[in-house]
Structure 1
Amino acid sequence: MTTFATPEDIANRTNAAKEAAVAAGRELGLEITEGKVLYELFSVVVHLAPSPVVARIPTVLPHTTTLEDLAKRQQQELDVAQWLHDQGTPVIPPSPLVERKPVQKDGFSITFWPFTDEDKSKEPDYVKNSELTADLHKALQNYPGELDFLSSAEPRFVKEALDRLEAHPEIVAPTDLARAKQEWQVLEPLVSDEEAFSKAFPGIELQPVHGDSPPANIFASTNGPLFSDFELITKGPIEWDLGGLGLEHEAAYNRGATKNGLRPIDKDVLRFVNSVGALRVMAYLSCADQLPAMVEFMQPFINQWRDTESYA
């Protein structure tokens, strides 16, 4: 990591992703007169107008992620979203206008989703969303797809990213990095091995979970809230979806869990999840050359972690 992307670099990357999505959509038979960028950060989201289809193109990726890895993860996302839709769960399903698989074009891997109108009349209610997350966990219990244990923890990436950050004290302070590496030595076996996790947390059952904070990934459509963005779908404890939310949100989830006949949050597992989550945030700073703005907007998470008791 030597050269940081400039605003012009990022604009060019966004435009390249948009053009790849437009070209791929046309090859799939969609009528497209223009691509309208709806959102960009770690991914670029493009409306393939006038078709009622949105393309999502991941653009900021860990150095360990290959196009093959990404396509596998995207296929899992498409499959679980379709399955949940078929079960009547309120989700954004894959677009029915194209085949349900990721498409690679010009170095990008692209998935296609229905254009969904957003209700912008009110701010997101993350407390309510936390309670709704229990509905999702209930629905996911019977998902028949094969999922790896805590794949969204990305243990190889975290380890290598922390090593890379040693060369960049301007991004992560050496004292913070030293603590992070000590914690990772304790945490890595627990996220890498299902048996090790079960020994550390006996009686904690595992199931399919969203993988990427569903309370923050519920889309407020004009027809009601819809679960979305299953890119990090994985097998793990329900706490994996609830890290870093705070007491009010945890209480809301527990209310939803009671309604669904599920167990409440386990505080020890949540502490483990929060610790892993903090180190994943730090690890992603190794991608700051692709998205320099993340150094600033991830700093509050690092500050919060710094004030917690070490897991080591």
Structure 2
Amino acid sequence: MHPRFQRLLGSKGFSIGLELPLDNDWSSDGQRLRVAEGRPFGVPDLKQHSTLARLADQSGFRALWVRDVPVYDPHFGDAAQVFETFSYLGYLAGITDNIMLGTAAVVLPLRQAWLTLKSANSIDELSDGRLLLGVASGDRPMEYPLFGVDYDQRGEVFRETVELLRSQGEGRLPAGARLLPEREQSAPMLVAGLGQQSPDWIGQHMDGWLAYPGTPDEHRRRVGLWREVGGDKPYISFVHLDLAANPHAPMRRIHFGASTGRLALIDELQALREAGVQHIGLHLRRSERPVGEIIEEIAEHVLPKFH
């Protein structure tokens, strides 16, 4: 296991983070605000993003996860956190101190490989070794012609870029040339999905797996498959959460997550841990309550149960 995961998972081997954007634009109030401001569906309100990112850091969440969505596609209806992934991570590195910074996940075929390496090394240096580099082959066909990439070749490009990132370009630069900044230890790489590769290749070349959201039973099955190819490498996933004001509110399953009070949330997180999940990123865009309130409640009542 990459040593950086010890910082992420802690002594209990399980931790909780947050998936950006830190907005509830998919809630009923969020939708009304979005319509009033003329934003398309899936484009969040980012006015409080820096305040909430600092709050997450100060409250003890272990990671902030950002996605890589180069072009807003109305058919998908999700602009993620709007800002370009590495640019935003550089900003987050400057306004936070402890929280780890993860990508979930950088679409490698849409990026020039050497610049991806330089960007990752830059963020890792600027954040004092807090980068978790999630990577993927992508799934939005509209983007590939815009970037001059053959959609059907994305698996091959993904594999070649991973190999460059792994080697840090060693042996590929002209004599005397260096790609700066150089890192003695590369950030761990985690894959979302399979990147158009075989499970065996993924288990051999990746440091962890970013799994799609699911129930504890679904994760138990997936964890078993991951252990066959990835051994003890971390298994990480996400939960879409609408946290009720009533802590005793029962759990109601929603798409990719749950609407629930905090007591049932604690039970759900415990079940996920028992299923083999080692880190959960909470996605709060469906939350009917203000995001800051939820961050504070989870920090006070939930994180101490697991961190």
Q: TM-score, normalised by structure 1?
A: 0.27
Q: Which has the higher helix share?
A: 1
Normalised by the length of structure 2, the TM-score is: 0.27
